[in-house]
Amino acid sequence: MIDYLKRTFDRVPLVSPENETLNLPNAITLLRIGVIPVLFFLLTAPGEMWSFIIALIFICAAVTDLLDGYIARKYQIVTTMGKFLDPVADKIIVNTAMILMIPIGRIPAWVVAIIIIRDFVVDGMRSIASSEGLVIDASGLGKQKTLCQIIAVSALMIHYPLFGLDAHAVGIVVLYVALFLTLYSGADYSIKFYNGAIRKKR
């Protein structure tokens, strides 16, 4: 599969000569954001088949995050637009999915609130640090948190038993793991921000 993708990308015009922001990785990211309207079907409390289809579309969108990152790194076409869109797309898709599952009772509202608030706080701290010339390195905790969120959201979307497993129960368990990593990584960022601010003053 990887070899096929490599051969395919080698023949694709990855970057537009007129505008460097019009490249394949950014196009994939925008396509990922385009999945969001599909997620609104969750508000209809879909049955078993449609729940699985929506979850499958969500998983495909999540997988494309690895794809556009691979292309951008391989062909060294990282752009300012890409740096902005990639993390934003992930958060928009995951957070939208979680919010839409609240009214149909598939996910606790308080968990969603904590996760979203944490993201706002961490993004705020990183923006402030960046404006002050401080660099807060991203830790592996954030990536682990995002992975757990994607697994949890996928399972909660499926909701119904699948291959003998209670998808909803699995989703809830992984969701609480994601919540723990959310709080832990948030505390880690806060400590780094505080220590960096103190060093700056000194």
| 138-146: long-range contacts, CB 8 A cutoff, minimum separation 24 | 139/185, 139/188, 139/189, 141/181, 141/184, 141/185, 141/188, 142/185, 144/181, 144/185, 145/178, 145/181, 145/182, 145/185, 146/90, 146/94
Check residue 6 and give its pLDDT: 54
- DSSP single-letter state for residue 139: P
Tokens of 75: 């062909």
- Give Cα separations from 151 to 22, 77, 101, 146, 167 (angstroms): 31, 29, 15, 9, 10
120 vs 8: which has the higher pLDDT = 120
List pLDDT tens digits, range 122-180. 888 877 777 766 666 666 777 888 889 999 999 999 999 988 889 999 999 999 999 99
118 vs 79: which has the higher pLDDT = 118
Check residue 188 and give its pLDDT: 84
Residue 38 clears pLDDT 70, i.e. is over it = yes
Helices 109-131, 167-201: crossing angle, 10 deg rounding: 30
> Domain 1-105 is in which class?
mainly alpha
- Give Cα separations from 139 to 117, 188, 192 (angstroms): 19, 8, 10
List pLDDT tens digits, range 65-79. 777 666 666 667 666
- Residue pointed to by tokens 């038993």: 161
3-state secondary structure of 152: helix
90 vs 136: which has the higher pLDDT = 90
Residue 12 clears pLDDT 60, i.e. is over it = no
Phi, psi of 97 (to 5 degrees): -60, -45
Share of the chain above pLDDT 90, in %: 35
124-139 b/e with 16+ CB inside 10 Å = b?
ebbeebeeeebebeee
Residue 196 identity: G
**Boundaries of every domain in the chain:** 1-105, 106-202
